[in-house]
Amino acid sequence: MTVRLSVVIPAHDEAAVIGRLLEALTSDPHSTELEIVVVANGCRDATVPVARAFEPAVRVVEIAAASKIDALEAGDAAATTFPRAYVDADVAVDVATLLALADALTRTGGPLVASPRLEIDTDGVSWPVRQHYRIWELTDYRSAGHIGSGIYAMSAAGRARFDTWPHVIADDRFVQQLFLPSERETLDGHAFRVRSARTLAAHLRRSTRIARGNRELPSDVQLAADAPMGDRAGNLVRRVARQPRLWVAFGVYCVTSTVPRLRARRLIAERREPEWARDETSRAIA
């Protein structure tokens, strides 16, 4: 069967979760329509043997550097097909959703970049984290062509928008901002799931990394700009104001969204070396 989509999966010490993803992708009868490339980068755990257990349906590439950006480069070098999806090892997604991305990106007049709808799995997490995501679902960020946060895919023309991957933390945000809203598509009929951090402390660490990565994106290649912070905040306040049951959650959200931004600003001002600050609590669940 003809391969319709290349899937690049960067994986650094993902032995706890990558088997779940690869099992879902390779057990589907339509898995032969995917070219799956796992790039194990700087792994010190069992990621490589877990991934190799799925050969030959999966191709495993090993690189020494523990770098997601280097893994994306190596994945592009190994993959042979467009459209091309970039999938985090800890997400839950099925083959039908990935093939829907291929359909969207090969459609005449279709988008240059696309993503399924992101669903956050908050089962078993702490109360403050659940409240944060209740409000986060109402933000402009979620409703304005949200791309990434675990999966995004580009057509050949979309990938040609840039040359090599820049050394940034927020690769998904970098990709989203390369494209105007009219060039993006979020597939509302298809979704993938990401587990949230279980604890507030883990959530704040992860959010600080994301906030820092967003602030450090190169502005010279970003085509799409966010609306002013005041406009986005005003829109959110108006949505919440109509739902009194969300007022307590909104108070929590104000803290959980502001603290990471302040921490990120301080880390940049102090010129500290970026830390990945990966959330291990969600992987422990998996």
Say if 58 falls within a structural domain.
no
Across the range 193-222, mean pLDDT stands at 86
Tell me what the pLDDT averaged over the chain comes to: 90
Say if 11 falls within a structural domain.
no
- For residue 181, pLDDT over 80 is answered with yes
Distance CA 69, CA 66 (A): 9
What global pTM score does this model have?
0.89
Across the range 248-271, mean pLDDT stands at 90
pLDDT confidence of residue 210: 86
Say if 37 falls within a structural domain.
no
Q: Which domain holds residue 98?
A: 82-285
Q: How confident is the model at residue 221 (pLDDT cuts 50, 70, 90)?
A: low
pLDDT confidence of residue 146: 76
- For residue 277, pLDDT over 60 is answered with no
228-242 pLDDT, tens digit each: 766 788 899 999 999
The structural domain count of the chain equals 1
Say if 14 falls within a structural domain.
no
User: Is-contact 49 41, C-beta < 8 A?
Assistant: no
pLDDT confidence of residue 149: 84
44-70 pLDDT, tens digit each: 999 999 999 999 999 999 999 999 999
